[in-house]
Structure 1
Amino acid sequence: MAKTGSLSINSENIFPIIKKWLYSDHDIFFRELVSNGCDAITKLKKLDMMGETEIADDEELKVQVIVNPNEKTITFIDNGIGMTEDEVDEYINQIAFSGAEAFLEQYKDKTSDDQIIGHFGLGFYSAFMVADRVTIDTLSYKKDAKAVLWDCEDGTEFNMSESDKTTRGTKITLYLNEDSVEFANMYRAREVLDKYCSFMPVEIFLSDETAEPEYETIDESELTEKDTVIEHIVEPAKTEEKEKEDGTKETVEVEPEKKKVKVLKRPVSISDTTPLWTKHPNECSDEEYRAFYHKVFMDYKEPLFWIHLNMDYPFNLKGILYFPKINMEYESIEGTIKLYNNQVFIADNIKEVIPEFLMLLKGVIDCPDLPLNVSRSALQNDGFVKKISDYITKKVADKLSGMCKTDKENYEKYWDDISPFIKYGCLKDEKFCEKMSDYVLFKNLDNKYLTFKECLEENKENHENTIFYTNDPVQQSQYVNMFKAQGIDAVILKDSIDQPFITQLESKNEGVKFKRIDDELNDSFTEELSEDEEKSLKEKLSETFKKALGREIDIKVQKLKDEKVSSMITVSEETRRMQDMMKMYGMSNMDPSMFGGAGETLTLNASNNLVKYILDNPEGENTELICKQLYDLALISHTPLNPESMTAFIERSNKILEILTK
């Protein structure tokens, strides 16, 4: 038998799902109920603008959050639009019927730019995640409306009756369950409100119903009608004696009489209703940008610079992205991008909106057009989100490339700090890489900044399409000095991101090779040595070093132009990259030759006196000592010695000094 009908929701079945699965964080009810209060006030403002109601000039529109740890309650009070009995029945008693959506539909052609936060009509029910009982006491703005009291336990059975509320707005009281009484604590409530509601578009006030009243003293001239006066205080004029020209003294008034008033402490809103990102960049000073950064991210260091995003078409997006100064050696380079929707905090680092490489930055992004899921905690899968992500990437690239073109001095000053962001972005985002390829800088041995093309030009005469680099100018200082002596340039690449980055550059630029300065020595550093002479010297030295070190090592003999250099370790670029990859995958004990590469090579300088001594005295009294010392000296200029080798090196050095002093 065919049958048609409408699906119905049974609250006994749906509430366990809402309470357990709708929101991942139970503290989210603060955000939802405060947002509802803000919406009620925003609606009232719209109606006032359209002449459908009137707000008194001296009325302060606000949301109050009142905790009572003794009664284990939290109360949310707004003086917004309020609800009639029919509206309570429609918006509260019917789950997921959004009052915000209904209001927007009704006034879609008349509303201003003020945004209403709610969309799904489920936020109110988050209260039942923490409360056994919830009451709503509300009075509509409508003329002759009657106040309504709604009372519900466990989200299943409710009672509605007329209340004696006389002021417009809504009061929601949560009677917390035993697992959630922590939220009635003033400090815990402040922590959660700071997390979710710091930038709500309506002023929010938090108070403790059980706390003793606090007072403050102000000048009488600052007194307003809203102040509760406790005591009038007169501070008498202050005088002092001064000597006159004739030697007599007179009393002079140095501070006049002050009239002060002791009043009940004025409440301070926890919400900044016009955060910096809502303003136009031209309205914001550098001091304001820095102060906002310190406040939001609790970072005592100054940001390097920032990008203010301000877009109205084809979607609404505002925000500020900061490039923080990071100590790469001691700090994580993971940043924080806070995502907001109509000034309501959604989450940190939502990867669908924020490009992965920009997760290294710190900042805020507010996009009312985001397609959020029903709990407002994550995004629905939507092609629109990709457009937002692409826009953010484009704006960052435009800012950086523009800075390089118009403010090269500052761009170079910031480069060492921002280079990891940019290189990571080039690796992760093809469009960003295309935009930034001409604005990636390399610092050379003279601390001069060069572009990729300029690096190729530097060594074009003798080393076309080859860029030499050092990843540790101090450790590899011997090689650096040799390069400088021969007028060959190299760049400094110290960050871990540099290895995959130069590999990408090589793949995108056919024929270009990066070589570390401890790669095999080329003709620029050597003088001609006949093949037969080289073979003979290698055989003699290999045998002597094998005997001294107790093992075979790969030896190469060259005649270096710098006679002072006795020994060096060289490793081909391909082998060294293979070794780095093996270390990364925990394969450091494996022999590189298994993958077609040789290990380290000890290069000996046939022009050096110590090497000549070994050749002339293979069985000499100190030959073994010198061989070991030359090998360790070569290692030290290449990489740090392990503890055992360092101990042996120090003992041997002391022994050599003893021999010299005999």
Structure 2
Amino acid sequence: MAEEQMNFQAEVSRLLDIVAHSLYSEKEIFLRELISNAADACDRLRHAALTQGGLLGDDSSFRIRLKADPSARTLTIADNGIGMNREELIDNLGTIARSGTAAFVQQLENKAEGANLIGQFGVGFYSAFMVAEKVEVATRRAGEDRGWLWSSDGRGAFTVAEDADAPARGTRIVLHLRQGEEEYLDAQRIRQIVHTYSDHIAVPVVLESKKEDEPDETLNAASALWTRPKSEITDEQYKEFYHHVGHAFDDPWLRLHFKAEGVMEYTGLLFVPSQKPFDLFHPDRKPGVRLYVKRVFITDDCAELLPPYLRFLRGIVDTEDLPLNVSRELLQNNPRLAKIRQALVKKVLGELKQKAEAAPEEYANFWETFGPVLKEGLYEDGQQRDTLLALARFRSTTREGWVSLADYVKDMKPGQEAIYTITGDDPKALAKSPQLEGFAAKGIEVLLLSDPVDDFWLSMVPAYDGKPFKSVTRGGADLDSIGGGDKKDTAEAEQQDEAAPGIDALIAFVKLTLKDQVKDVRVSKRLTSSPVCLVADEGDLDMHLERMLKAQHQLDRSSQRILEVNPGHAMVKALAAQVGKDGAGGVVEDAAWLLLDQARIIEGEPLPDAVAFSQRLSKLVEKGLLAG
């Protein structure tokens, strides 16, 4: 087949331009990335060979070979792993076939963030262009006859051609180094880089000797890091293993290295990142922990190993209790794997609990990053619900920072029987909601819930410590039985209780005017400064949840709401005084519709008739009602 030229995906071209302009502060990590990819290729072939005969042939020992050629100015990284065919070459090196690519590259263009993001997104191969003016990839997929050569200078295009000289299997990457990058041809420099970043790689990394009478040199320990005694592993080695297994550039926030013995035998080396993985909220919710059996890589996509709400974890689990040739079907509903999963969840949540107690400020940072994911467990995992509730942290109306449910309950007001919540899209906007005014007047704390999952877990969790969760936007606000609050605010609330003259007639008139637009109109106990608000009836869907379901086309109807009116508000008093006067009916009718539209605007709901709203507002301004 003749050489074929193709263009990079647009995002790849932009990415390569960023990389070529020295995105990384330490260029040497290009070698770490290429060695890490080579090790993954060897792991994948080792697993594939368990079920497909003939893939290994006579070459059953895996290795990664490095060769420096100063005269040709080339550095070669070769492995005898799974290799690639033509389609895989194009897919893996010509495109970034992952959700959110454009947003990722846009973030990457902020060079201060770039070094932390590029590896996180799994595109470390492109780091080769930091030091190379041209990259050649010769490869042959194990079990296939045809080899292929991929070549590019990183300037927008690449070529693919059939290559008879490709390795018997695996991949050989040749970097043609730029001027000024000669240090990466020096044997001592290569040793230092491999020892620093890749000592944990379980595949031998071999530096080819330049002299025929000298043996090749293995540069790394070439043993599975998790099998070594913890006392023999340095923090730096743990960190580099995390970088490898998580394709990450940040440092881990928390590390768990443990071994279970007895009925079930397995080893776990798990990390909690300090930064959010790029695909954390991808709809697939793929796991980030690899499964090994007897130190042989099995899969990095084992949904049965950990629940989706722990998908931010990175690391490995190595078990002795599964067959080496375990299939996808055997992993599903496997009782042994289910027991490992149960133990892992308990272990991880236990460590998080200890961290929350010992280092609350650190834990608050963790919650800021991963709390929205962990809360998915409140909805999905009834068995761990109590533990997760204890770990949960929330924003609230009365505190800076985060509050636990235990602290919330401890500080409840005398007579308060419920944990009050309000859900929405933004905590700052929620804090200004009219529904909170009565609660604020009495100093009652309300939790501000702004993650999409909040509406769903609240429907599954009836109470905490015997205290039910209650939305402030639903049902009547029974605040009379709750003590506390500022004296001034309490006095204002008591004054408001004295019904303005004509308020009952106004409520009846508004109810008659709005008819089937609202479920009811009533005097509000929760409003102190706003004239009106909308609330859901006790048995109806929470208003924010309903809006979410409609936006996702999971609900095709809207529930009628209750319009609550503040009898102490100047506008409401003025309207109450107008009811029954000759010629005032049209004014009060327009005002009734304006009150409803004002309540809709506050809730962030679209107006059904914006033109009518504008006309009514203009008429009332002209009559001087609002001005007076």
* TM exceeding 0.5: yes
- Residue 556 of structure 1 corresponds to which residue in structure 2? 522
State the identity %: 16
Instruction: Find the structure with the greater CA-based Rg.
Output: 1
Which residue of the partner structure matches residue 258 of structure 2? 310
After TM superposition, give the deviation of residue 502 of structure 1 in Å.
3.3
Counterpart residue number, 1:490: 446
- The yes-or-no answer on 1:319 pairing with 2:269 is yes
Residue number among 615, 619, 643 corresponding to 2:576 in the alignment: 615
Query: Which residue, 259, 269, 273 being the options, matches 2:222?
Result: 273
- Per-residue CA shift, 1:605-651, capped at 9, x if unaligned? 222221122222344364444333322222222x2122645565567
1:541 aligns to 2:507 (yes or no): yes
**Counterpart contact for 2:304–2:341, Cα < 8 Å:** yes
1:353 aligns with 2:305: yes
Q: Distance in 1 between matches of 2:380 and 2:365?
A: 25
1:577-656 → structure 2 map (5 Å cutoff) = 577=542, 580=545, 584=549, 588-590=555-557, 599-618=560-579, 619-620=583-584, 622-637=587-602, 639-642=603-606, 644-645=608-609, 649=613
Contact 1:567 1:634 in 2 (8 A): yes
Which residue does 2:98 correspond to in 1? none
- Pair 1:601–1:322, CA change in 2 (3 A): same
- Counterpart contact for 1:502–1:514, Cα < 8 Å: no
Corresponding residue for 1:522?
478
Distance 1:603 1:570 in 2: 7
CA-CA distance at 1:407 after TM superposition: 1.0
**Structure 1 residues 289 and 227: CA distance shift in structure 2, 3 A:** closer
Q: 1:376-415 to 2 correspondence within 5 Å?
A: 379=330, 383-415=335-367
The CA distance in 1 between the partners of 2:176 and 2:463, in whole Å, is 70
Counterpart of 1:442 in 2: which secondary structure? Answer: strand
Aligned twin of 1:575: 540
SS in 2 for 1:176: coil
Contact kept? 1:336, 1:349, Cα under 8 Å: yes
CA contact (8 A) 2:496 2:567 kept: no
CA distance in 2 between counterparts of 1:286 and 1:645 reads 63
CA deviations over 1:163-219 (Å, ceiling 9, x no partner): xxxxxxxxx997836xxx3xx22569xxxxxxxxxxxxxxx995659x999997856
CA distance in 2, matches of 1:222, 1:504: 58
Mapped contact 1:353–1:386 kept (Cα < 8 A): yes
Shift of 1:339: 1.7
How far apart are the structure 2 equivalents of 1:68 and 1:327?
26
TM-score, normalization: structure 2? 0.57
For 2:187 and 2:289, locate their aligned partners in 1 and report how far apart those are by CA, in whole Å. 45
Cα drift, residue 390 of structure 1: 2.1
- Cα 1:407–1:539 change in 2 (3 A) is same
For 2:280 and 2:186, the matched residues in 1 are separated by 52
In the alignment, which residue of structure 2 is the partner of 1:228? 210
SS in 1 for 2:450: coil
SS in 2 for 1:616: helix
* Contact map agreement 1:304 1:325 (CA 8 A) in 2: no
SS in 2 for 1:379: helix
- Structure 1 residue 540: deviation in Å? 3.4
Task: Pick from 401, 406, 413 the counterpart of residue 453 of structure 1.
Answer: 406
Alpha-carbon distance in 2 for matches of 1:322, 1:350: 18
The amino acid that maps onto 1:306 is: L
**Are 1:372 and 2:323 counterparts?**
yes
**8 Å CA contact 2:518, 2:563 repeated in 1:** no
Output the amino acid matched with 1:641: E
Partner of 2:136: none
Residue 591 (structure 1) shift? 7.0
- CA deviation profile, 1:424-482 (whole Å, cap 9, x unmatched): 33444455335444333333222343332332232240312443444454444133354
Distance change in 2, residues 1:501/1:361 (3 Å): same
Partner SS, residue 330 of structure 2: coil
- Equivalent residue, structure 1, for 2:392: 440
Question: Are 1:28 and 2:10 counterparts?
Answer: no
**What's the TM-score once normalised by structure 1's chain length?**
0.54
**Residue aligned with 1:487, SS:** coil
Question: Closer, same or farther in 2 for the Cα pair 1:566/1:304, shift >3 Å?
Answer: farther
Tell me the SS of whatever aligns to 2:414.
coil
Unaligned stretches of 5+ in structure 1?
1-23, 43-61, 71-171, 189-203, 231-265, 593-598
Residue 403 of structure 1 and its aligned partner are, at CA, apart by 0.3
Rate the CA distance shift 1:213–1:613 in 2: closer, same or farther, 3 A: closer
RMSD: 5.3
Distance 1:307 1:651, change over 3 A: farther
Note if 1:363 corresponds to 2:314: yes
Task: Point out where structure 2 has 5 or more consecutive residues left out of the alignment.
Answer: 1-43, 64-77, 87-139, 152-167, 192-206, 481-489
Are 2:176 and 1:176 equivalent residues in the alignment?
no
Superposition deviation, residue 489 in structure 1: 0.8
Note the C-alpha offset of 1:356.
4.5
How do 1:135-284 residues align onto structure 2 when only pairs under 5 Å count? 176=144, 181=146, 184-185=147-148, 206=170, 227-228=209-210, 273-274=222-223, 276-279=225-228
After superposition, the Cα gap between the structure-2 partners of 1:652 and 1:174, relative to the gap in structure 1 and judged at 3 Å, is same
Q: 1:540/1:344 Cα in 2 relative to 1: closer, same or farther (>3 Å)?
A: same
Distance, in Å, in 1 between the alignment partners of 2:530 and 2:366 is 37
Give the C-alpha shift of residue 40 in structure 1: 5.9
**CA deviation map 1:233-265 (0-9, x unaligned):** xxxxxxxxxxxxxxxxxxxxxxxxxxxxxxxxx
1:47-95 C-alpha deviation (Å, 9 max, x unpaired): xxxxxxxxxxxxxxx985698999xxxxxxxxxxxxxxxxxxxxxxxxx
Deviation at 1:655, TM superposition (A): 7.0
Q: Secondary structure at the match of 2:322?
A: coil
Task: Give the superposition deviation at 1:273.
Answer: 3.2
Letter in 2 for 1:318: G
- In 2, Cα distance between equivalents of 1:173 and 1:568: 65
Tell me if structure 1 keeps the 8 A contact 2:79–2:171. no
Cα distance change on mapping 1:568 and 1:494 into 2, 3 Å: same
Of residues 644-653 and 442-451 in structure 1, the stretch that sits farther from structure 2 once superposed is 644-653
What is the identity, as a one-letter code, of the residue corresponding to 2:578? Answer: N
Give the 3 Å change call, closer, same or farther, for CA 633–384 of structure 1 in structure 2: same
Aligned to 2:458: 502
The alpha carbon displacement at 1:556 in A equals 0.4
